[in-house]
A and B are shown apart, each in its own frame.
Chain A
Amino acid sequence: MSPLLMSAADWLQLVLHFATLSLLGIGGAITTLPDMHRYLVDRQLWLSDAQFNASVALAQAAPGPNILFVALMGWHVGLNAGGGWLALMGAIITLAGILLPSSIIAYSGGQWSHRNRELRAVRAFKAGLAPTVIGLLIATGTVLATASGSTLDQWPVWLIAAVSTLIVWRTKVHILWLLGTGALIGAFFLA
């Protein structure tokens, strides 16, 4: 790929796009992934399909919040534009774009709901949402376990997911041991 030409205005547009998505990502930024693909890969041609997918997969594999996939997108745009410091800058400014607006809202909302935690409406909000939120969590685990396909030949993945569900639920085994074991089993049997 010949180096991409990114002007300062292009970078600004990139940050502003992520800042907009930041406000739309209710239920997690992952819900705005389809739009990121449309913008970065299809419309602006700033990223290849492979780079887009690698950004998401790598952030899943690395420790930390999944939102870091956005930093990796910025990183890859920077690499395409000439690499080095541009990649680092791309990572930082896209992450700032996706996080700044939503963080300010989370901070104000959190402070407000804590100050008014005895209000009937606030208590109803929290209690009323709790069962749905728990159902959603279990659903997220299920969706992730079947992300690579839901055909029967995927049974080893489901087995690993089911066994680790049981272990985390019933025991206090450290999560890092489980992930290490999962990586080893994967390297030998899922390759």
Chain B
Amino acid sequence: MSYEDTRPDALDRPRPRSLADLFLSFSWLALQGFGGVLAVAQRELVEKKRWLTREEFTEEWAVAQIMPGPNVINMAIMLGGRHFGWRGGVAALAGMLSAPLLITLCLAVVYGQLSQYPAVAGALRGMGAVSAGLITATGIKLIPGLRKNVLGPVVCISLGLAALLAVAWLRLPLVWVLLVLGGIGMGLAYRRLSP
């Protein structure tokens, strides 16, 4: 292979040990993910388990995002599949869904009884605000990973800011933002990467 491996630690890095490890890791990850799993996924997979580096996480996330379906689920399937083939994908998917599905259904039953109390609705809003903060912080924590990006800091910051404004402020449809800004980024990156 004529390419230099930019990830020298790729071989001795921690990885899932078995299908059960995958299932349990993703169950534990999903159970901590209130209001979305992404923030927890970043913390567990990158900071705690170190199955992925910050750069790899962003890259996998980019692939997971461009494909149809829920991003975190796509990412779990891709990660499981990489280590254990289709069985790994199924184990990661099952881990991600089984326990949370049970809890969500129980919650739906309980909510049917409690929905008239304002404190319950207030608590839901408080948790929603926290989970919004979680997602923002996850994005911020991934920024340093861009330092190694071939696009260079100016292009990276411009594209990132443009995406932020397009979705948060102008409320443009995600598909177009991904196609246009992602397309520009890919074109530039393709030109800068030597063949």
Contacts and interface: CB of A to CB of B under 8 A. Distances in A.
B160 interface: yes
A71 interface: yes
A129 B159 CA distance: 9
Interface string A1-31: 0000000000000000000001111111101
A65 B136 contact: no
A124 B149 contact: no
Central interface residue in A124, A181, A188, by most chain B CB within 10 Å: A124
A131 B185 contact: yes
6 contacts: A23-B68, A135-B161, A141-B132, A175-B32, A179-B130, A184-B123
B151 A135 contact: no
A36 to B, nearest CB: 14
Nearest to B56: A126
Nearest to B137: A168
Nearest to A178: B130
Interface of B: 1, 3, 30-40, 43, 47, 58-59, 61-74, 77-79, 81-82, 86, 89, 93, 96-97, 99-101, 103-105, 107-108, 111, 115, 118-143, 145-146, 149-151, 155-168, 171, 173-175, 177-178, 181-190, 193, 195
A55 B112 CA distance: 11
Interface in A114-135: 114, 118, 120-121, 123-135
Contact of A61 (B3, B35, B145): B35
Contacts of A191: 118-119, 121-123
A175 B127 CA distance: 11
A21 to B, nearest CB: 9
Given A131-B185, A135-B163, 10 more contacts: A28-B69, A106-B74, A134-B160, A136-B174, A138-B139, A161-B133, A168-B141, A178-B134, A179-B130, A179-B131
A67 interface: yes
Contact of B63 (A59, A109, A132, A158): A109
Contacts of B164: 135-136, 138-139, 142
A142 B136 contact: yes
A67 B100 CA distance: 11
B140 A169 contact: yes
Contacts of B70: 25, 28-29, 65-67, 99, 102
Contact of A88 (B86, B105, B134, B160): B105
B107 A147 contact: no
Question: Closest 9 A-B residue pairs measured CB to CB?
Answer: A186-B126, A64-B100, A102-B69, A135-B163, A110-B78, A141-B136, A164-B133, A191-B122, A137-B139
B132 A187 contact: no
Given A131-B157, A178-B130, A107 B81 contact: yes
Given A134-B142, A139-B167, A182-B130, A189 B177 contact: no
A169 B137 contact: yes
A148 B124 CA distance: 12
Contacts of A102: 67-70, 73-74
A27 B104 contact: no
A71 B177 contact: no
Contacts of B157: 131
A27 B178 contact: yes
Given A129-B185, A132-B160, A139-B168, A121 B77 contact: no
A114 B119 CA distance: 48
A57 interface: yes
Interface string A157-191: 11011111111110010011011011111111111
